[in-house]
Structure 1
């Protein structure tokens, strides 16, 4: 999809699309926001258009508790008075959707006295860089909205929501990202100082931390094999060729002769050299990538001790 302009909403509100999510699918597919609480009732519409919110509240008090009547009235008012500059968000499954309403009045749905409003350009579930917005990648201050039991509410973490949609990092995250990048750069020359044996041990530790398990002896008489690995969760077999220093010619030789049908993947790991490959079954891991993997595996201290 094409990149959208940076959003700067006047307000941010969460909406639950139907009891048990019954309206979620049609709303997402049709680009609409459906609202209950008798918002499609002709009398409710008349009171809303006339700004007679006290009369709407009085009608709810006749059937509900004071607190519920107040909540229903406030939610309905904010729904009717919302404009194109107000951002609405919702969760559907694991996805976080957002959108702006079109100008205009709600359209009543006679079957249940609910109503709908159109979402300008439809609901979106990606940030400004096109990255999907998923619960697993969002903080609790945002995902907690999915537990709200009412129909609609204001979003306390509005600034955070807007920042995530705009794919902007907070100052704290920027600082952490910078520190991580600097640490990775510092690990690279330490890895390049490792001797062949220690380098091979590091590679084995890194793969082990990722779930791969060695199932055969290292090196020995097997010319093209340093590590014979299996991923227990899937049964996938792979072999890892470890070369402290390498060349394109040396890599080409291993790429042509290395796989024998038993293995589905090949990893070629090295810390010094410059090589390329267009074979999708071969993963090249240079010092930079290995440094990131080392940090993720919690092996930074190990590398520092070995490189001292």
Structure 2
């Protein structure tokens, strides 16, 4: 767990760090939030310091439409008035960053008349458990902000953002995970009830759902082979040794014989017994792991039918 308390921001705002991400690299590396919209213009700085927002709006209406002038003014005001309890978030590539601003007046940047404020402790891109915050792991209600066409906006999914940063699960997710965990646990004894042939078919179906293709017959005269597989997308070859029951001694005996120069990987799959290894070229799959793979592959109903 990261060494900081749970956050409880007063507000949450999204910020785009420059047109086309022009300021992203420098801002992330230096812990800065850079804001455009002429925020570094001496007149803007003066009006902001004195709270004369109507004059800023009037200056924008002289060159922009009413709607754009209002948006520019509101965005600029939110930036200048943001306090240490206001959370700012942004996306850089596939990463989600967040941070709080230090108190103080924005520093003007020339020649583009932008300005910067310091991010307290720098930008972070992990949650409170230290896990990376990535677009691929966030819901559309958050990632859709990356398509915002303006500079900055308030975040409707603020509560969800805070939960993800705090590494907290919603009650609905907690309930779903508990049900999923219970289902996986209930599959283990059903998998152990399968006969050798059905167990082997299950393993083949699971690997097939993952993209592996069987290219040779099972068993026979090839002592070490139960499944001879290929991953068409990469050409990688693997063999899968399927054992209903096993022991560490039996596994080690198979592992010693696996190197024949043809296969890239070995999978050792069993449902009863014990087998462990530190060899990165060998993946051991026991009953609990196989139960998770069964669920992920959509084969739960198949196992239930076969175990009846």
TM-score tier after normalising by the smaller chain length: over 0.9
Aligned to 1:85: 85
In 2, the alpha carbon distance for the partners of 1:79 and 1:195 equals: 66
Aligned to 1:157: 157
In 1, the alpha carbon distance for the partners of 2:16 and 2:274 equals: 53
Counterparts of 1:1-308 in structure 2, within 5 Å, are 2-308=2-308
Are 1:40 and 1:114, in contact at CA under 8 Å, matched by a contact in 2? yes
Question: Which runs of structure 1 show a deviation greater than 4 angstroms over 4 or more consecutive aligned residues?
Answer: none
SS at match of 2:98: strand
Are 2:2 and 2:128, in contact at CA under 8 Å, matched by a contact in 1? no
Are 1:238 and 1:263, in contact at CA under 8 Å, matched by a contact in 2? yes
SS at match of 1:77: helix
Are 2:192 and 2:272, in contact at CA under 8 Å, matched by a contact in 1? yes
**Deviations 1:223-270, CA, capped at 9 Å, x for gaps:** 111011111111111111000001111111101112211111111000
CA-based RMSD of the aligned residues comes to 1.0
Are 2:245 and 2:271, in contact at CA under 8 Å, matched by a contact in 1? yes
TM-score w.r.t. the length of structure 1 is 0.98
TM-score w.r.t. the length of structure 2 is 0.98
In 1, the alpha carbon distance for the partners of 2:11 and 2:116 equals: 19
Q: How many residues matched?
A: 308
In 1, the alpha carbon distance for the partners of 2:110 and 2:286 equals: 64
SS at match of 1:39: coil
Are 2:239 and 2:263, in contact at CA under 8 Å, matched by a contact in 1? yes
Are 2:192 and 2:287, in contact at CA under 8 Å, matched by a contact in 1? yes
Unpaired stretches in structure 2, ≥5 consecutive residues:
none
In 2, the alpha carbon distance for the partners of 1:14 and 1:172 equals: 26
Please report how far the alpha carbon of residue 132 of structure 1 lies from its aligned counterpart in structure 2 after TM superposition. Answer: 1.2
In 1, the alpha carbon distance for the partners of 2:238 and 2:298 equals: 23
Are 2:226 and 2:240, in contact at CA under 8 Å, matched by a contact in 1? yes
In 1, the alpha carbon distance for the partners of 2:253 and 2:151 equals: 64
